[in-house]
Amino acid sequence: MSQNTIRLIGNLTDDPKLVLFASGATVTKMRLASSKRRRVTDDNGKEVWEDVDPLFIDVECWGQLAVNCGASLKKGFPVIVDGSLVTDFWQEGEGNNAVTRSKIMLKARNVAFDMNHYQLNSARTSNSGHSLDGHDAVPVMDAEAVFKRLTGQPPSFADPVDPAEPVAAEADGGDSALDGAPDGTDEARYSAEDLSAAKAPF
């Protein structure tokens, strides 16, 4: 069954975290803060804006979308994210002390920059791009270059778990025009070891 797509607008609370796998899989994890704004009257009788109904949610991107987000986004940047809400599960502890934890997260299909207060240069990851007048062309970075920029360290790969089993595509999987779409495309091609290693909580 296809999941409904939701859209969230907010700001990143920290720099993206990119995870690389020896299989070639890439996943970027981000935390998004979103809220509504309303006008209220303060104690001095002056009208001011305040944030209400805050939401903090983890966002996960796969494939080329993961690489592009890692290369382009930083803490505080305003973004618009389309994706599906899913429940992420993981185990804490061992044996009789093992406890199953869960959280709601957003698997991103598209991530856009909120242009209300910014102008951007761009570089297409295939063959074209756009630079503002007076600006140098933007270099395109691969996953390993992005990892090094974010961490200051040479690339390292997440440890897989054993055994590895192929992950089946979702029922509505197949080719998609959405780069980095999590269902039936990039993520479905990666092994269970990649997914398990990437699912650790933020």
Domains of the chain with bracketed CATH: 6-198 (2.40.50.140)
Ramachandran bin of 183, using left for φ above 0, alpha for ψ from -120 to 50, beta for the remaining angles: beta
* Alpha carbon distance 172, 195 (integer Å): 19
Tell me the pLDDT of the chain averaged across its residues.
77
Q: Which residues contact 44 (CB under 8 A, 6 or more apart)?
A: none
Q: What is the mean pLDDT of residues 35-45?
A: 89
pTM of the full structure? 0.65
Query: 137-166: b or e for each residue (b if 16 or more CB lie within 10 Å)?
Result: ebeebebeebbeebeeeeeeebebeeeeee
In this predicted structure, the answer to whether residue 180 has a pLDDT above a threshold of 50 is: no
Contacts of the segment 120-124: beta carbons below 8 A, 24+ positions apart: none
State yes or no: pLDDT of 75 exceeds 70: yes
